[in-house]
Amino acid sequence: MAMTTRMMIYAFLLYGGIFAAIVAVIARVIKYLIRYGIDYYFEKLAQNQKHKED
Protein backbone atom coordinates (compact mmCIF):
# COMPACT_ATOMS: atom_id res chain seq x y z
CA MET A 1 0.00 0.00 0.00
CA ALA A 2 1.60 3.21 -1.12
CA MET A 3 1.31 6.26 1.10
CA THR A 4 -0.17 9.13 -0.81
CA THR A 5 0.65 12.72 -0.02
CA ARG A 6 -2.79 13.21 1.52
CA MET A 7 -2.33 10.23 3.84
CA MET A 8 1.07 11.53 4.89
CA ILE A 9 -0.41 14.95 5.70
CA TYR A 10 -3.21 13.37 7.75
CA ALA A 11 -0.74 11.17 9.62
CA PHE A 12 1.49 14.17 10.31
CA LEU A 13 -1.43 16.24 11.60
CA LEU A 14 -2.72 13.37 13.73
CA TYR A 15 0.62 12.62 15.35
CA GLY A 16 1.40 16.33 15.64
CA GLY A 17 -1.87 16.86 17.48
CA ILE A 18 -1.24 13.92 19.79
CA PHE A 19 2.27 15.19 20.50
CA ALA A 20 0.97 18.71 21.21
CA ALA A 21 -1.66 17.33 23.61
CA ILE A 22 0.95 15.28 25.48
CA VAL A 23 3.27 18.28 25.76
CA ALA A 24 0.39 20.45 27.04
CA VAL A 25 -0.50 17.89 29.73
CA ILE A 26 3.14 17.57 30.82
CA ALA A 27 3.45 21.37 31.01
CA ARG A 28 0.32 21.60 33.19
CA VAL A 29 1.58 18.87 35.52
CA ILE A 30 4.95 20.60 35.91
CA LYS A 31 3.23 23.95 36.52
CA TYR A 32 0.98 22.34 39.17
CA LEU A 33 3.91 20.65 40.90
CA ILE A 34 5.94 23.85 40.95
CA ARG A 35 3.06 25.96 42.28
CA TYR A 36 1.86 23.61 45.00
CA GLY A 37 5.31 22.21 45.75
CA ILE A 38 6.54 25.70 46.63
CA ASP A 39 3.46 26.32 48.80
CA TYR A 40 4.02 23.01 50.59
CA TYR A 41 7.70 23.83 51.13
CA PHE A 42 6.96 27.20 52.72
CA GLU A 43 4.21 25.72 54.92
CA LYS A 44 6.63 23.09 56.23
CA LEU A 45 9.32 25.73 56.70
CA ALA A 46 6.93 27.88 58.76
CA GLN A 47 5.91 24.87 60.86
CA ASN A 48 9.53 23.95 61.54
CA GLN A 49 10.40 27.52 62.53
CA LYS A 50 7.39 27.65 64.87
CA HIS A 51 8.47 24.41 66.56
CA LYS A 52 12.02 25.68 66.99
CA GLU A 53 10.76 28.84 68.72
CA ASP A 54 8.66 26.81 71.20
pLDDT averaged per 10 residues in sequence order, the chain, 54 residues? 86 97 97 89 88 72
pTM > 0.95: yes or no: no
Predicted pLDDT of residue 24: 98
pLDDT the model gives residue 54: 62
24-36 burial string, b = 16+ CB within 10 Å, else e?
Answer: eeeeeeeeeeeee
| Segments making up each domain of the chain, as ranges | 15-54
